[in-house]
Structure 1
């Protein structure tokens, strides 16, 4: 995993935001899933950095980045970082929450984005309708309401195998690594803390205007409604396509890293001829 000394810090208007910056070449930004941090891409960073400059931030309120003390938007934070690093236009690769950040950013700051890859994500307007996911989310909310961190974490980690598998069918090292990251982020917050994140709305109206290539990658075992929304995103833009990775659910970056790395590298190489 990344050593703390490898991280750098961007002094935003509301605290320091941590990021990893390694490799040389065209910039690729890796945007992590909710409650985790940049280390969810430990298997992707060296593979991509062999040919590209890889920037992997900790989203505000996650990992080593500052918590928000006032209203903020994901896209604004990322745009500030890219401008600070003179790293645009960049290819944005996001998993789950990170995919929503990538979509928000290309909608708000198209001049900073070369292409987008969303993995287990669509736009930030998405809300699950799948009954299994809704039950798990209800378990998380109930545990959070009583301050039961272990109960919340147990429910959260059920998203790794998904509804078609049990935790015993997932590499325990993956669950352990994700658990460590999530606990680190949870420790930064309190149950009664105000949520300062300002969500974007009406994103789907603007999606057809996205003018850069978009690739949607989903685990075959992920929630069907999320897969459908990701495919809808790829179908709504001028240059979009979608792929499915078998044998994984919401985190192909953790469960199928070699397959995802090949997909990403092939996509990045294809951009050179466009």
Structure 2
């Protein structure tokens, strides 16, 4: 199914975004990958939805086949450029982790483009972490970046797949290999010293009550308490929010439990249609 999607490059200031889509009529379903990953993480969702509706996959700047950032930008503004270039109109936007933060930012900064949200593994793009396991994982990740130790970076990155209560041995090896491959490709293509991080969107938690579209927050039960807690907080903070907690998975429920994840997506997509 992924091979049936057409590739388009959308120009953004000082770069481009790689976008894949089909040409089904109706409300678009836009899928935003997590940090360090790329559009390939959505293969199971493309298989589930591409026969019945328009599906759009976007590689964020600094990921996949999009350009590496060399000037100031915001992910949500890049995404708005994709909407305008492809004439997407209001869409159901699905985002995981970094992509979930971007989805919420889009609803705050460009609300006319969003008909519904599915957010997983995050609350907003302004996370707060207090759990010792998360703090240790991020500290290891940062140390690897500072020493430019690629293997150490990848090992730290992979900790989020099983989460704090499992090891990689507990994860389907095909899923682990897919995540590892995407993380490695991110390093190989975008880990340059001139990389510019995105400009943050601010006051997100203060403003999320203004989001009027349906919001479903999907959490892997085995994810860290911080990630699950921020997701639940988002659902509680919007007028039309609900939570879906999925057993047997941590930070990447779309990869480990795709059927349950797809059910949550369909719930929002049907209401946004």
Q: Which residue of 2 aligns with 1:12?
A: 12
Deviation of 1:79 (Å) = 0.4
Q: 1: distance between equivalents of 2:122 and 2:85?
A: 27
Establish whether residue 206 from structure 1 lines up as the match of residue 207 from structure 2. Answer: yes
Establish whether residue 137 from structure 1 lines up as the match of residue 138 from structure 2. Answer: yes
Deviation of 1:82 (Å) = 0.2
Q: 2: distance between equivalents of 1:68 and 1:105?
A: 19
Deviation of 1:266 (Å) = 3.0
Establish whether residue 21 from structure 1 lines up as the match of residue 25 from structure 2. Answer: no
Q: 2: distance between equivalents of 1:67 and 1:140?
A: 20
CA contact (8 A) 1:216 1:230 kept: yes
Deviation of 1:172 (Å) = 1.1
5+ long unaligned stretches in structure 2: none
- What is the total number of aligned residue pairs between the two structures? 272
CA contact (8 A) 1:147 1:191 kept: no
Alignment RMSD: 1.6
Q: Which residue of 2 aligns with 1:175?
A: 176
Deviation of 1:62 (Å) = 0.4
Q: Which residue of 2 aligns with 1:163?
A: 164
Q: Which residue of 1 aligns with 2:229?
A: 228
Q: Which moved more, 1:182-191 or 1:75-84?
A: 182-191
> What whole-Å deviation, never above 9, does each CA across 1:232-271 have from its counterpart, x for those lacking one?
1111111111110001000001100111112212332233
What SS does the corresponding residue of 1:136 show, helix, strand or coil? helix
Deviation of 1:179 (Å) = 1.1
Deviation of 1:130 (Å) = 1.0
CA separation of 1:148 and 1:232: change in aligned 2, threshold 3 A: same
Q: 2: distance between equivalents of 1:149 and 1:121?
A: 25
1:66-145 correspondence to structure 2 within 5 Å: 66-145=67-146
Q: Which moved more, 1:100-109 or 1:41-50?
A: 41-50
Using structure 2 for the length normalisation, give the TM-score.
0.95
Runs of 4+ in structure 1 off by over 6 angstroms are none
Using structure 1 for the length normalisation, give the TM-score.
0.95
Q: 1: distance between equivalents of 2:130 and 2:196?
A: 23
Q: 2: distance between equivalents of 1:195 and 1:271?
A: 35
Q: 2: distance between equivalents of 1:18 and 1:245?
A: 30
What SS does the corresponding residue of 1:43 show, helix, strand or coil? helix
